[in-house]
Amino acid sequence: MSKAILGRKLGMTQIFTEEGKVVPVTVVESGNNVVIQNKTVESDGYNAVQLGFGEVKENKVNKPLKGHFEKAGVSPVKFIREMRLADASEYKVGDTIGVDIFSAGELVDVTGTSKGKGFAGGIKRHNFARGPMGHGSKSHREPGSTGAMISGPGGRVLKGKKLPGRMGGERVTVQRLTVVRVDADRNLILIKGAIPGPKKGFVVIKDTVKPGKQAKN
């Protein structure tokens, strides 16, 4: 069965290996993931397990979710995600999953919501080159041409054209990150490198979908 766990990004730091090398890591607070629901092919058409993580006040939970938690017999949680499985879940509703399902050296994929940057121009958003800054140029940071005129009743901009607009705040997955250390006592996972999202942002950690190659040291 594939492994997955929910967590909260605490920030970045660095640790030293036994050889004295510095390794940049992201610290993720996890553990105490509660199983809220099991889905099977017979009842739902597919296999999945629904996990919950994070404390939330009961008065912040709406009635449909409150009924969902009461049916499962678990306390309300803030962050809920459903994990697709190839086979039926091994866990029962109400079971708790800890960080010890992962171990140092394993490769994982981390999914989170990237930091929102607001409205950004083409240079920042799409890495466009700027125009000339002198010699009479009036086009410094403009996007430039939007393409040729389209035949028919007037021109239009084709869908997907790279232009200024809202940047960030999107679901992002970083693949093949190495688990450096697992601290079961403090419910912490240390992952090599950066992961998406701001501090205190919720993330999903699961087995990588590209396990073929060996992890880089």
The more confident residue out of 142 and 154 is 142
Render pLDDT for 178-214 as a digit per residue (tens, 0 to 9).
999 999 999 999 999 999 999 999 999 999 999 876 6
Q: For position 63, which CATH number holds?
A: 3.30.160.810
Residue type, 20: G
Instruction: Confirm whether 41 is domain-assigned.
Output: yes
Instruction: Confirm whether 101 is domain-assigned.
Output: yes
Supply the pLDDT for residue 102: 94
Instruction: Confirm whether 153 is domain-assigned.
Output: no
Supply the pLDDT for residue 211: 86
Supply the pLDDT for residue 215: 60
Max Cα–Cα distance, the chain, nearest Å: 72
Residues 123 and 103 in one domain: no
Handedness of CA 195, 198, 199, 204 (dihedral sign): negative
Supply the pLDDT for residue 145: 86
1 falls in which pLDDT band (50, 70, 90)? low
Q: What is the DSSP string of 34-87?
A: EEEEEE-HHHHSS-EEEEEEEE--GGGS-HHHHHHHHHHT---EEEEEEEE-SS
In order of 23, 49, 103, 134, the CA distances from 17 in angstroms are 7, 36, 16, 51
Instruction: Confirm whether 155 is domain-assigned.
Output: no
Residues 101 and 126 in one domain: no
Supply the pLDDT for residue 214: 61
| Best CA proximity match to 204, nearest among 5, 2, 23 | 5
Instruction: Confirm whether 106 is domain-assigned.
Output: yes
The span from the CA of 43 to the CA of 140, in Å, is 59
Supply the pLDDT for residue 151: 66
Overall domain count for the chain: 2
143 is written with which tokens? 């996007």
Pair 117, 167: CB distance under 8 Å = yes
Residues 55 and 138 in one domain: no
Residues 39 and 59 in one domain: yes
- pTM summary value: 0.87
Supply the pLDDT for residue 146: 85
Percent of the chain with pLDDT over 90: 79
Tally Cβ neighbours within 10 Å of residue 23.
Answer: 16
Supply the pLDDT for residue 97: 92
149 is written with which tokens? 């005129």
Residues 106 and 138 in one domain: no
Question: Over 70: is that where the pLDDT of 152 sits?
Answer: no
Backbone angles phi, psi at 160, to 5 degrees: 90, 0
SS3 27: strand
Residue 45 structural domain: 4-117+175-207
The span from the CA of 195 to the CA of 210, in Å, is 17
Instruction: Confirm whether 48 is domain-assigned.
Output: yes
In order of 31, 139, 190, 211, the CA distances from 106 in angstroms are 17, 49, 11, 9
Residues 33 and 95 in one domain: yes
Instruction: Confirm whether 154 is domain-assigned.
Output: no
Mean pLDDT of the chain: 91
Render pLDDT for 16-52 as a digit per residue (tens, 0 to 9).
988 999 999 999 999 889 999 999 999 999 999 999 9
